[in-house]
Chain A
Amino acid sequence: MCLAVPGRVMEVEGAEPAFLRGKVDFGGVLKEVAFPFTPQVKPGEYVLVHAGFALQVVDEAEARKTLDDLKQLGMLDDEPEGPA
């Protein structure tokens, strides 16, 4: 139930922050998502979605840093492969 899935924001609509909505692309599947908790979000950014709400904008710099750290440890040679 606590699963939240990352997806790419396609559009954001609405005037009042509490009622912001729009479409998010989950690997080709588009879904309607509410954005009251990420009112600054812009199309192209990634959000974590749970129960129809974006809970957070994925921090791309932090994501890159985690993977860079693993690379430095010699655990990741170059670009990661697809799913195991």
Chain B
Amino acid sequence: MKFLDEYRDGELVKELGRRIAAAATRDWTIMEVCGGQTHTILKTGLEGLLPGNVQLVHGPGCPVCVTPLELIDAAVEIALKPGAVFTSFGDMLRVPGSRLSLFDARARGADVRIVYSPLDAVELARRMPEREVVFFAVGFETTAPANAMAVWQAARTGVSNFSILTAHVLVPPAMEAVLASPECRVQAFLAPGHVCTVDGYEQYEAVAERYGVPVVVTGFEPVDLMEGLLAAVRQLEDGRAEVENRYARAVKREGNQEARRIVAEVFETSSRKWRGIGAIPNSGLKLRPAYARFDALKRFGARTGEVAEPEQCQAGRVLQGLLKPTACAAFGTHCTPDHPLGAPMVSSEGACAAYYLYGGRDE
């Protein structure tokens, strides 16, 4: 495939590894924020091509992992209501709630369906006017335009039996939360390319300046990731802390204006709790009052009380790059993809699942 194969060239990836080794004269710790990038790194064994003094830590960029337990419980509660059709991206179904996952709810007779796009959920609602169709609106900036557009189109075309359960999160406040932790070891970031495709990278300039960290916007293929790492190491060695775009084929400084416009029309920023991490100010999106009638929580009067996390699960520390998954006592024993204790073991972007599936370099 064009725009994929040329960025997967094995020789080029190795050569970039050699350049990184030549450039790095000191110990550096770099965080890739996005869980999709974590999976590419582990799946293709990129860590094995890096010199020992360049350490990668994996960040909080897994929307499935950070969706609060109470919202999973609310999703299950809504899905079990008579007449409800609960739709979601496939990743959310196996995430354990405090009692049930959506998958368990389906086994108990709930109508839970996987959709590929939120527009499919709107279409379902149009075809089944006697049912209430709910979409689990999970995701970062990348997914927000699609979900906002689904709500906007439902409003525009008079589809009133559609609503969303909103669990949207934003990357820059999460990066600041990572940096603000007294235990933080991160010296540079690879910024998530597709979040920046939508939102651009202006907002990272303040982060780079305030905390003195290089931020390199990076794509998702092995060549992209190694190039991003090389750029980050060069900045660290030179003592620079700039925002650098190494994914120019997909990212403009201002992002995609049309996409940003629809997000701003439908959503506003709000404080949001991140599973395992806690509340982060201005780190989420909620429906604006003009679209509040599409809020599934209100429509179904679902509960969102605090619930306790399983004690053994260290997901919060894993998501902040403070702990490698393999250092969690439950990893691979009490917690496996078939019997997960926490969301990072379930999601296709979760660091625990990546280590379980592909193995990883020890510290």
Stretch at the interface among B172-180, B255-263, B277-285, B351-359: B255-263
CA of A52 to CA of B87, assembled, Å = 15
Indicate if the CB atoms of A56 and B222 lie closer than 8 Å. Answer: no
Report chain B residues within 8 Å CB of A60.
249
Contact flags A10-21 to B (C-beta < 8 A → 1, else 0): 000000011100
CA of A60 to CA of B3, assembled, Å = 9
Indicate if the CB atoms of A2 and B192 lie closer than 8 Å. Answer: yes
Does B153 lie at the interface of the complex (its beta carbon under 8 Å from any beta carbon of A)? yes
- Closest Cβ of chain A to B303, distance in Å, is 26
CA of A1 to CA of B119, assembled, Å = 16
Does B68 lie at the interface of the complex (its beta carbon under 8 Å from any beta carbon of A)? no
Report chain B residues within 8 Å CB of A62.
248-249
- Closest Cβ of chain B to A40, distance in Å, is 10
CA of A16 to CA of B227, assembled, Å = 40
- Closest Cβ of chain B to A82, distance in Å, is 6
Known: A1-B89, A6-B1, A84-B222. A50 touches B8 (CB 8 A): no
Q: How large is the interface on B (under 10, 10 to 19, 20 to 34, 35 or more residues)?
A: 35 or more
Contact among A27, A55, A80 with B12 in the assembled complex (CB-CB below 8 Å): A80
Known: A58-B249, A84-B222. A6 touches B4 (CB 8 A): yes
Question: Which residues of B are in contact with A by a Cβ distance under 8 Å?
Answer: 1-6, 8-13, 15-16, 19, 34-36, 44, 61-64, 89, 91, 116-120, 138-140, 142-143, 145-147, 149, 152-153, 156, 192, 194-195, 197-198, 220, 222-223, 227, 246, 248-252, 256, 258-259, 262, 347-349
Report chain B residues within 8 Å CB of A37.
145, 256, 258-259, 262
CA of A20 to CA of B89, assembled, Å = 23
Known: A46-B3, A63-B249. A51 touches B143 (CB 8 A): yes
Question: Which residues of A are in contact with B by a Cβ distance under 8 Å?
Answer: 1-4, 6, 8, 17-19, 26-27, 34, 36-39, 46, 48, 50-53, 55-56, 58-60, 62-63, 65-67, 70, 75-76, 80-84
Known: A1-B64, A75-B12. A80 touches B5 (CB 8 A): yes
Contact among B9, B34, B36, B120 with A80 in the assembled complex (CB-CB below 8 Å): B9
Indicate if the CB atoms of B194 and A2 lie closer than 8 Å. Answer: yes
Indicate if the CB atoms of B9 and A55 lie closer than 8 Å. Answer: no
CA of A17 to CA of B257, assembled, Å = 14
Report chain A residues within 8 Å CB of B259.
37, 55
Indicate if the CB atoms of A75 and B258 lie closer than 8 Å. Answer: no
- Closest Cβ of chain B to A41, distance in Å, is 11
Known: A18-B153, A56-B256. A83 touches B2 (CB 8 A): no
Indicate if the CB atoms of B10 and A84 lie closer than 8 Å. Answer: yes
Known: A1-B89, A2-B34, A55-B259. A50 touches B140 (CB 8 A): no
Report chain A residues within 8 Å CB of B62.
1
- Closest Cβ of chain B to A15, distance in Å, is 14
